[in-house]
Structure 1
Amino acid sequence: MSQINIPSREPGQIPLDDVVVPFEVAALDVRGRAVRLGPMVDEILSRHAYPTAVSRLLGEAIVLTVLLGSSLKFEGRFILQTQTDGPVRMLVVDWRSPGQVRAYAQFDAAAVAALTAPTDGDLLGHGHLAMTIDQGADMNRYQGLVALDGGTLEEAAHEYFLRSEQIPTRVRLAVAEEYSAAAGGAQRKWRAGGLMLQFLPKSSDRMRVADLDPGDAPEGTAPHLVPQDDAWVEGQALVETIEDVELLDPALSTERLLFRLFHEHGVRVFRSAEVEAKCSCSRERVEGILKSFPAEERAEMVEDGRIAVTCEFCNTRYLFDPETVVGPEDGAEG
């Protein structure tokens, strides 16, 4: 019986930013994706004067969205959104194929400032995380919801896959500021990284998980337990060894990190994909939206003789002369 030989090579030494690297460890029946973000995430976060804690939280949401959105096998959108009662009441990250990302946060500045060394749970509070897949105008949207109960985005992602996808999944997210010397003083730039590992054996029996708590079981009922597969136990243990600096270090390539984690079993990497910060707004689109409003509402938007519209995602401000923004109904009346 002939054996298929997969060519092997040394892991790439050159670090690359703003890329997604899919990988597979066949010996453990796991697949995953690793993300390293540099200029892309810095551009998104630097467009707004977010407090450091809010920027870090939004950066985590961006990494999680890239990990999930880049797995889509079709042209479409993946939207991650939180709505909670915490100081950061909303996060929105919008992924569009093939790899365009935009994001913003809504928060209570005073409530955030009152926190000392806040955790994700402190900032988010309680509410829900929604993940929406949009396959286009002719296809139905798919949306999954998971509760946010004072935990982290990593924990919410694990809960989402457990309840919605029933795929054993482990996620690691890291965000930090990088300081470097410059002529005008120290420069600060945001960096982010993440890794997602999923257990995908050919036999579905090996993927069995414990039944979820129905919420109304009689007191004293023993929880349903299912032993975890040894391969998945090892895969999770290896991911747990990742330090934040390894996901962020601009001198460490993603391939070197994957080799460090899985070299004993053999790791196969696939073609990487680039991601970029790209907002879909434009002057023409904003003007079209303004024209769709009744003339009375447009008149109420005028301040100092202009209509000003600021994009929540990219913070670009558009100014319009009210006399040039005329809707179809205005011409009909004239």
Structure 2
Amino acid sequence: MASRPPAAAVLDAAADDFVLPFAVDGLDVRGRLVRLGPAIDTILARHGYPDSVCALIAEAAALTILLGSTLKTMGRFILQTQSDGPVRLMVVDLELPDRVRACASFDARRVEALERAGEAQAGNLLGAGSLAMTIDPGPPASRYQGIVPLTGGSLEDAAHLYFRQSEQIPTSVRLAAARAFRSSPDRDRGLHWRCGGIIVQHLPASGPARMADLPPGDAPEGAALDPQLEPDEWSEARLIAETVEDHELIDPSITAGQLLYRLYHERGVRVFDPQAIVERCRCSREGITAMLSTFPDADREHMVRDGMIEVTCEFCSTRYRIDPASLAG
């Protein structure tokens, strides 16, 4: 398990692979800032995905950590998309508190066509479908799942819709991913993937602020609706969060402390203990063997090639060669 780095390590240094909780008491705001470097680069390097798919998975990983790291219990937080777009399936699995893995299934020809046309944005890659967020605390507790539609927008759009419809908590999310040059002498130089994100939520001490209702489905077209003004504190916090630029979320020369100070120093920002994040798959030879042991003998016989059963983990691409004789009985 990764240890918790001291706050100074992420506030005052070019730290990577962490999620940092913070609060702005003057605006009744709580938030989290995530930045991934080597962890997300390792995940993506295993697969050889097209750049646009890599960027989408990286943003999904940042969003998963922002949301999953708020949970108070151990277990898993899983973000999954299923859609009719070129990226048919995407899964990010966060094993709390710190282990993340991710993979995707996509139509290479459709992705290539979008990239050639310069139209490989998240909405075009995902298309229409659904985004599911699953909390699995482990037995004996039951899973909880929230689902929102994907309608050709970004992951940020889907997250905003989820909080608007399900949690009723005023929320603003920003995500970014890109390849950047790495200059550290102890790692390979060159372009490597990075991603980051920030989430701010209005959580006043008097209780969550009620959000404006969604327009009723039976309202006549063009009918005037009575808008509900959002609290002044949240308007200020949201507008400030929306000024965050992509490069500020991923640039290693901009520390977490510098970014949070720029955003909220006038209102007084407090930070809490950060959590280190590591790339770590849950697969194992023991787990694969146990899974294969549940298959009928006839099914396992069809899996045998050159005397062995070969299984490749979709998340980390590790190949396991299992002797079918070890599964007998």
* Shared fold (TM-score, shorter chain, > 0.5): yes
Name the % identity. Answer: 53
Q: Indicate which of 115, 119, 122 corresponds to 2:121.
A: 119
1:36 and 1:247 in contact (8 A); partners too: yes
1:332 corresponding residue in structure 2: none
How far did residue 182 of structure 1 move? 9.9
Between structure 1 and structure 2, the one with the greater Rg is 1
1:199 corresponding residue in structure 2: 202
2:153 corresponding residue in structure 1: 151
* Correspondence 1:173-188 to 2 at 5 A: 173-180=175-182, 187-188=190-191
Report the Cα distance in structure 1 between the residues aligned to 2:92 and 2:268, rounded to whole angstroms. Answer: 34
Report the Cα distance in structure 2 between the residues aligned to 1:198 and 1:240, rounded to whole angstroms. Answer: 13
Q: Does 1:233 align with 2:235?
A: yes
1:17 and 1:36 in contact (8 A); partners too: yes
Q: Does 1:270 align with 2:272?
A: yes
2:3 corresponding residue in structure 1: none
The superposition leaves residues 120-153 of structure 1 with CA deviations (integer Å, 9 ceiling, x where unpaired) of 1110000010001112211121111101000000
Q: Indicate which of 315, 318, 327 corresponds to 1:313.
A: 315
Q: Does 1:23 align with 2:22?
A: yes
Report the Cα distance in structure 2 between the residues aligned to 1:13 and 1:322, rounded to whole angstroms. Answer: 54
Which residues of structure 2 form unaligned runs of 5+? 1-7
2:213 corresponding residue in structure 1: 211
Task: Read off the aligned partner of 1:49 and give its amino acid letter.
Answer: G
Task: Read off the aligned partner of 1:239 and give its amino acid letter.
Answer: A
Counterparts in 2 of 1:140 and 1:321: CA distance versus 1, 3 Å: closer
Aligned residues: 316
Report the Cα distance in structure 1 between the residues aligned to 2:260 and 2:166, rounded to whole angstroms. Answer: 28
Q: Indicate which of 242, 256, 259 corresponds to 2:258.
A: 256
The superposition leaves residues 287-316 of structure 1 with CA deviations (integer Å, 9 ceiling, x where unpaired) of 111111011000111123221100011111
Report the Cα distance in structure 2 between the residues aligned to 1:215 and 1:317, rounded to whole angstroms. Answer: 51
1:17 and 1:38 in contact (8 A); partners too: yes
Task: Read off the aligned partner of 2:80 and give its amino acid letter.
Answer: Q
CA RMSD of aligned residues (A): 1.8
How far did residue 224 of structure 1 move? 4.0
2:51 corresponding residue in structure 1: 52
Task: Read off the aligned partner of 1:142 and give its amino acid letter.
Answer: Y
Counterparts in 2 of 1:186 and 1:101: CA distance versus 1, 3 Å: closer
Q: Secondary structure at the match of 1:163?
A: helix
1:42 and 1:189 in contact (8 A); partners too: yes
Task: Read off the aligned partner of 1:218 and give its amino acid letter.
Answer: P
How far did residue 49 of structure 1 move? 1.1
Which residues of structure 1 form unaligned runs of 5+? 1-8, 329-334
Q: Indicate which of 258, 274, 291 corresponds to 1:289.
A: 291
* Correspondence 1:97-116 to 2 at 5 A: 97-115=96-114, 116=117
